[in-house]
Amino acid sequence: MPSSQSRDHPKPRPTVGFGFTCLTERDGIDRPQCMLCNLVMSNGNLKPSGLKEHLESKHKDHVGTSIEAFKLKRVRYDQKATLSSYGFSAPRKPLLEASYKVSYMIAREKKPHTIGETLVKPCALEMAKIVLGEDAAKKLSQVSVSNDTVHQRIKDMSQNIITQVVSEIKQSPAKISMQIDESTDVSNHSQLLVFVRYVHEKNIKEEFLFCERLETTTKAVDVFKLIQSFFDRHELAWDLIGSICTDGAPALIGKISGFVAIVKEKAPHVLTTHCVLHRQALASKTLPKILKEAMGIVVQTVNFIRGRALNQRLFKKFCDEIGAEHGVLLYHTEVRWLSRGSVLTRVVELQDEILEFLKHQQSPLAKHFEDEHFIVSLGYLADIFSLLNDLNTSMQGRDVDIIQARGKVVAFTRKLPIWCRRVESGNLANFPNLDNILTKDDTNDLCMESVWIQNPFSFDVSRLSDNDLAKDDFIEFQEDPRKKADFERAGMDVKQFWCEQISAYPSLAMRAMNVLVPFTTTYLCEIGFSALLNMKSKWRNRLDVSDDMRVALSATVPRFDVLIA
């Protein structure tokens, strides 16, 4: 006698099918087509009773066939390439591709997912109706760009991109470099950004790795656990990491319990670099007392005018009435190192207008703008920070390596004694603001490495120690006429050249990669946080930005053919 369990839960039977596939005509109408006799029926026969009647009257032998069996028949049916002969298009493939491409552009522009349905599609339909006619607009209306669809498309593309990136990282012949930074978004969630640089297809590639939320604290162990979790999911090992660049936050570079210290326990070989821009920003805080006081007065003045809405409006109107070059002051922020020079320059340009405005407002700050010593200090600060701004700007951007950054810094430091001698002789050409007011170390090893990496065939090999095993390879390398021709070829990039030597001269090439691959600054993380600020606004504060950030910032294009298939 069967048990009660078998009576309550009978064994499921396979679902019966009707043997039809749905085809989309060129006019966008869906019609059923029999996979057994290729008969195309009207749209009204899509209902199950019509399909069943055809199956029972024309194909009695297949009545009761399961859906799984019909799916196998459909595979063979689709391979017969009979669609075009009957005047049918592929089932929704162009519409699917269009949906992915529109979603990709929405993500790249960092726009809300709803914009596809509220703006993009209505505009496209209106243009198609006017230019191409009603039929074209009717077919275009089938492209799905709803909020949920765009969200899913972006998620699919993000997974496709990270799969490509992880595969490229694992295939990199040289160790990769990581750039790490952390910041807080508009919803007060701490976001960790990670970029990587690695060798791919005989060149050095910079790529976005991930943006993940730190759920609780932002301690070094939390950062490490988050990155370790990502590594575990994608089967990456710390041995792949060659260098890590951070902004110098204690949680990241602490010698005892910092993130770098934890990483070195896993991979002692990892080289750590401190963003040169943040290092300079920290050094600039150690100003002499008189200059520090002048900087404080400038900040107070700017806050007095810009920090109060009424004062800001009055100051702008005052500047417009007297025909001043500018109408507003700029804010200074400790986080953005370029802001300090811009603020000081603007204050110098508007110093007379500021003095008159402060007097009119009876502010005690006015007395400082009548003090000659303060004005001179202000002019010097504006000039020196403008020069530092130019240096900082030249070291920012993609593909900046240690050699290039070192060259900029060394050139700047070599100019300083010249500027000092000019000032001592009364020449203030390098300090125009001050002039107007008064008239109204890296190591030697890296140095040598940079020389032979940039100019391998003009480098004197005798400068290398006899104990250096690379000296033998370097002599052989310099005597290879084909390599010299490759190097002299027009348009040859140093990074690309050394990437191409990995197979022929691995020891030299890897030595060059150790200098060319590491990040110099956290510039990519800074532009990443700018994108995050644009993407996760107060109107989208619940957005999980991980996939959107990857699609928006990644240099890798999704494989649309794989996604569509």
pLDDT at 81 over 80: no
pLDDT at 446 over 80: no
Strands 176-184, 88-89: pairing is unpaired
C-beta pairs of 223-232 under 8 Å, 24+ apart in sequence = 223/180, 223/182, 223/192, 223/251, 223/252, 223/259, 224/259, 224/262, 224/263, 226/192, 227/180, 227/192, 227/194, 230/194
Residue 170, burial from CB neighbour count under 10 angstroms (0-12, 13-18, 19+): middle
pLDDT, average across residues 352-360:
84
pLDDT at 411 over 90: no
Query: All domains of the chain, ordered by start, with CATH?
Result: 20-89 (no CATH), 92-275+522-565 (3.30.420.40), 289-439 (no CATH), 444-516 (no CATH)
**Cα Rg, the chain, nearest whole Å:** 33
Residue closest to 346 by CA, chosen among 312, 307, 386, 373: 386
Asked if 340 and 292 touch (Cβ cutoff 8 Å), the reply is no
Cα distance between residue 422 and residue 430, in whole Å? 8
Percent of the chain with pLDDT over 70: 80
Strands 241-246, 271-274: pairing is parallel
Asked if 511 and 473 touch (Cβ cutoff 8 Å), the reply is no
Tokens found for residue 498: 């050394």
The pLDDT value given to residue 406: 80
pLDDT at 393 over 70: yes
The pLDDT value given to residue 7: 40
Tell me how far the alpha carbon of residue 397 is from its chain's centroid.
Answer: 12
Tokens found for residue 497: 């050249």
Residue closest to 560 by CA, chosen among 195, 98, 177, 18: 98
pLDDT at 88 over 50: no
Tell me how far the alpha carbon of residue 400 is from its chain's centroid.
Answer: 15
DSSP H helical ranges for 14-133:
48-58, 67-78, 93-108, 115, 121-131
CA torsion sign for 309, 313, 314, 316 is: positive
Maximum alpha-carbon separation in the chain: 114
pLDDT in tens, 119-129: 999 999 999 99
pLDDT at 232 over 90: yes
CA atoms within 13 A on the CB side of 399: 9
Cα distance between residue 311 and residue 131, in whole Å? 53
pTM of the model: 0.60
Beta bridge partners of 31: 23
Asked if 89 and 137 touch (Cβ cutoff 8 Å), the reply is no
Cα separation values, 389 from 288, 336, 382, Å: 19, 11, 10
Higher-scoring residue by pLDDT: 393, 195: 195
The helix or strand, by DSSP H or E, that contains position 319, with its residue range, turns out to be helix 309-322
The pLDDT value given to residue 309: 78
- If one counts every other C-beta atom within 10 angstroms of the C-beta of residue 548, the result is 27
Asked if 43 and 57 touch (Cβ cutoff 8 Å), the reply is no
The pLDDT value given to residue 539: 73
Q: Give the strand order in the sheet containing 204-214.
A: 204-214, 190-199, 176-184, 241-246, 271-274
Write the single-letter amino acid at 205. K
- 56-66 burial, b for 16+ CB within 10 Å, e for fewer? eeebeebeebe
Cα distance between residue 177 and residue 520, in whole Å? 10
DSSP H helical ranges for 132-269:
134-140, 147-171, 220-233, 250-253, 259-266
pLDDT, average across residues 393-417:
80
Cα distance between residue 38 and residue 51, in whole Å? 13
Tokens found for residue 275: 């963003």
Asked if 31 and 40 touch (Cβ cutoff 8 Å), the reply is yes
147-151, 166-170, 301-305, 398-402: lowest mean pLDDT where?
Answer: 398-402
- If one counts every other C-beta atom within 10 angstroms of the C-beta of residue 516, the result is 25
pLDDT at 103 over 80: yes
The pLDDT value given to residue 202: 85
326: pLDDT confidence band, cut at 50, 70 and 90? low
The helix or strand, by DSSP H or E, that contains position 174, with its residue range, turns out to be none
